[in-house]
Amino acid sequence: MHLILFFLFAGLCLAGAINLLLQTHPINSALSLIVVMTSLAVLYLLLGAEFLAIAQIIVYAGAVMVLFTFVVMLLNAGREERTLGSRAGARVGFPAVAVLLAVLATVLLHAQGLTAAHLGAGLTDAKSGTNLDILSQVLFHELLLPFEVTSVLILIAILGAVALARADGSKTGGAEGTAEK
């Protein structure tokens, strides 16, 4: 079953990457990149790297791609053309999603027989627990200070971005106000 899932999600990852290159609209490219990131997360999960799979979805497919999508939407000053949707997307997309959900449901129903690969067997000998337990012990006990410093730096970067955006907004707001008078 692992081999079937590997080939399914590896193919989905390659198809998303090829679609990313072939798209002319940046939003469609961003959606294709989300498919690639999610497929990579499933491949990490198949390898037994639960933390990497969840981090891939939360950080890359979630936060980074949402930020990328907002930037593309803000920079795209042109007017969007309205379409009723892609015919190829309707013909291929809905059956592909149905097959994907069926495969995932089958895997979840038969999950008791699946075992994760133990790539870090040496780590489990030194300390008892799963890979995620060991990683959380290292991250939140031994590396707590660098973890917290990184979060403060990210907060400072966000505040700086908001301050720069606000300074830009006040300049354009003044120009609009004088144009209306």
pLDDT of residue 61: 78
Q: Is residue 98 part of a domain?
A: yes
CATH number for the domain that contains residue 96: 1.20.120.1200
Asked whether residue 162 is domain-assigned, the answer is no
The confidence band for 4, taking pLDDT boundaries of 50, 70 and 90, is: confident
pLDDT-based confidence at 14, cuts 50/70/90? Answer: very high
Mean pLDDT calculated for residue range 59-74: 77
| Mean pLDDT score, 95-108 | 76
pTM: 0.53
User: Could you give the CA distance from residue 129 to residue 36 in angstroms, rounded to a whole number?
Assistant: 31
Q: Is residue 59 part of a domain?
A: yes
Q: How many C-alpha atoms does 49 have within 13 Å on its Cβ side?
A: 13
Q: How far apart are CA 108 and CA 104, in angstroms?
A: 6
Read off the pLDDT of residues 121-179 as tens digits, 9 standing for 90 and up. 444 444 566 777 887 888 788 888 887 888 888 888 888 887 887 765 555 444 444 45
User: Band of the pLDDT at 113, cuts 50, 70, 90?
Assistant: low
Q: Name the average pLDDT for the chain.
A: 75
Instruction: Please check whether residue 47 lies inside any domain of the structure.
Output: yes
Q: Which two tokens stand for residue 127?
A: 């300390």
15 part of a folded domain: yes
Q: What is the pLDDT of residue 84?
A: 63
Q: What is the pLDDT of residues 37-66, one digit of tens each?
A: 999 999 998 888 888 888 888 888 788 777
Residue 93 one-letter amino acid = G
More confident residue, 79 or 9: 9
* Alpha carbon distance 135, 156 (integer Å): 27
Asked whether residue 131 is assigned to any structural domain, the reply reads no
**Taking 50 as the threshold, does the pLDDT of residue 87 lie above it?**
yes
Residue range of the domain that includes 54 = 2-77+86-119
Note the pLDDT of residue 181: 46
Domain-located, residue 61: yes
Percent of the chain with pLDDT over 90: 6
Q: How remote is the C-alpha of 107 from its chain's centroid?
A: 22
Per the structure, the count of domains in the chain is 1
Q: Which two tokens stand for residue 74?
A: 């803000």
HEC assignment per residue over the chain: CHHHHHHHHHHHHHHHHHHHHHCCCHHHHHHHHHHHHHHHHHHHHHCCCHHHHHHHHHHHHHHHHHHHHHHHHHHCCCCCCCCCCCHHHHHHHHHHHHHHHHHHHHHHHCHHHCCCCCCCHHHHHHCCCCHHHHHHHHHHHHCHHHHHHHHHHHHHHHHHHHHHHHHHHHHHHHHHHHHHC
In a domain, 160, yes or no: no
Q: Is residue 32's pLDDT more than 70?
A: yes
